[in-house]
Amino acid sequence: MGESKTVVPAELQKLADDARVTVRRGGAPDLDGKCVVYWMQRAERGRDNHAVDLAVKVANALGLPLVVYFAGIANFPNANLRHYAFLNRGLVDVEEDLKERNISFVLRNAPHESHERLLKDVQAAFLVGDENPMREPERWRRELAAKIKIPFWTVDADVVVPSKLIEKAQYGAYTIRPRLYRMLPEYLVAFENPKAEKAWHRPKDFHSDSVHEDMTRGWKELDRSVGPVEAWVGGHHAAVKRLKHFTNKLMKDYERDRNRPEVDGTSAMSPYLHFGHIGPVSIALAVDAAVKKDPALQSARDGYINELVAWRELAVNFVKYTPNYDTADCAEDWAKKTIAEHAKDERERMYSLKQLETGETYDELWNAAQIQMVEYGWMHNYLRMYWAKKILEWTPNAATAVRFAVHLNDKYFLDGRDPNGYAGIAWSMLGKFDRAWGERPVFGKIRYMSGASTGRKFDSKLYIEQMRALKGDAEFRLR
């Protein structure tokens, strides 16, 4: 590929000014380039995707076709067969939806997933990618930007408000919420989903893999001990179907049922959000549309938007500005002090990681939540808080507790390895985004949750029965 030799076209300069865009490598497109490439990683969807839309605009401005490329890497940190199976199914929808927009999709699985090789094979003039606050993906972007010779822009496609507009770490939801809400009218806007004007013609002997085949085939080092969950179907189409079920059927009772783990009362969007099979803007617009049809849903909408926007984007902010987001070192000073003061407190019970993983504790409610994690790949958010706090109580220190929780979170949850999960663990175990509470053994001033009080707030006996039925039943769905 030749160096960019000319000034940046004015139309591209304007696109670069979008707050969602980060220019990783500047300059003008390669004059000899044959296409624009969008390296899809975090936002795995062919519709309602700010990154695809921007890539289409860049391609159309340059009079070039657009190629969307996904690299199936075999060593994504802590990923296993469960995660890849869900992701793999989503790529079927990506290819289908992009085809409707005159965009070609290329999948290259390991060992053929080299970004630089792909860019050379298609003679890319310009590269677009996803923003991702997580440690490893950010490192990949920085390294690639330093190696290539063409412009490389990344797009913040999986938040409502571009995360760079919140310039520093926020202390809690109450500090970030008003800032986010002030910007909602500007960024909560329907998608254009423009079509590419020029079609890409695949070069002769060009290598690509089929989205309809197992992308993990031949990956000898992949952890296959955690299998797929048949009840969860990955992809944008399944996400939209579930979202419609939520807005049409469940939203009217959301305020009553949202904290009842024994019923199907939440949107269950978190796995789809994690893989980018749907974005938060699409969800928020659908919820707002439901309120327009039925104004009685306004209160439910407000509560849901608080979770989807305020708390979720607080988690993104946390990971973006906190390098040690997945360790006990991320605690605030007051929490570090109280943790240190109670580090030597006697634990009434202690469990090994293996005992926790297999749900072998005295606490039936906790064991049931662990079953939901292991067998179903998801856990009700209310129980995630209780689940984490008990691990703190049952391990020798906060550092070990966080390490165990992160390991289990990342291994079994479909929505694991995500800012939301790390923020939730930090809130539950380390008092992050919270305040100091009354002093007690082990927890110090960290907020405490007892099994008795937690179990009284919903039909915990029914939930425990459901989870016992779930064990070994992959087709189980919450009633």
What percent of the residues of the chain are helix, what percent strand, and what percent coil, each to the nearest 5?
A: 50, 10, 45
Could you tell me if residue 255 is inside a domain? yes
Distance CA 374, CA 255 (A): 27
Q: For residue 51, which phi and psi values (nearest 5 degrees)?
A: -70, -45
317 and 350 together in one domain: no
Could you tell me if residue 146 is inside a domain? yes
15 and 147 together in one domain: yes
Q: Dmax over Cα atoms in the chain, in whole Å?
A: 70
Q: Which two tokens stand for residue 53?
A: 């839309």
Could you tell me if residue 262 is inside a domain? yes
Q: Which of 127, 157, 187 corresponds to the end of one domain?
A: 157
Distance CA 461, CA 479 (A): 14
Determine the angle formed by the axes of helices 312-321 and 173-187, rounding to 10 degrees: 110
Could you tell me if residue 281 is inside a domain? yes
373 and 413 together in one domain: yes
Is there a contact between 127 and 148 (Cβ–Cβ < 8 Å)?
Answer: yes
Q: Which of 107, 123, 157 corresponds to the end of one domain?
A: 157
Residue pointed to by tokens 């923020």: 423
Domain count, the chain: 3
265 and 342 together in one domain: no
Name the burial class of residue 113, with classes exposed (0-12), middle (13-18) and buried (19+) by CB atoms within 10 angstroms of its CB.
middle
CATH code for the domain of 57: 3.40.50.620
Could you tell me if residue 70 is inside a domain? yes
307 and 335 together in one domain: no
311 and 340 together in one domain: no
431 and 292 together in one domain: no
369 and 431 together in one domain: yes
Could you tell me if residue 207 is inside a domain? no
15 and 152 together in one domain: yes
300 and 437 together in one domain: no
Could you tell me if residue 175 is inside a domain? no
pLDDT digits (tens), the chain, 479 positions = 444 445 678 889 999 999 999 999 999 999 999 999 999 999 999 999 999 999 999 999 999 999 999 999 998 999 999 999 999 999 999 999 999 999 999 999 999 999 999 999 999 999 999 999 999 999 999 999 999 999 999 999 999 999 999 999 999 999 999 999 999 999 999 999 999 999 999 999 999 999 999 999 999 999 999 999 999 999 999 999 999 999 999 999 999 999 999 999 999 999 999 999 999 999 999 999 999 999 999 999 999 999 999 999 999 999 999 999 999 999 999 999 999 999 999 999 999 999 999 999 999 999 999 999 999 999 999 999 999 999 999 999 999 999 999 999 999 999 999 999 999 999 999 999 999 999 999 999 999 999 999 999 999 999 999 999 988 654 444 33
CATH code for the domain of 357: 1.10.579.10
SS3 70: strand
312 and 412 together in one domain: no
pTM of the entire predicted model: 0.96
Distance CA 36, CA 68 (A): 8
Could you tell me if residue 438 is inside a domain? yes
Q: Which of 157, 180, 209 corresponds to the end of one domain?
A: 157
342 and 280 together in one domain: no
Contacts of 463 (CB under 8 A, 6+ apart): 261, 262, 365, 368
Residues spanned by the domain of 393: 328-470
CATH code for the domain of 266: 1.25.40.80
Distance CA 157, CA 256 (A): 32
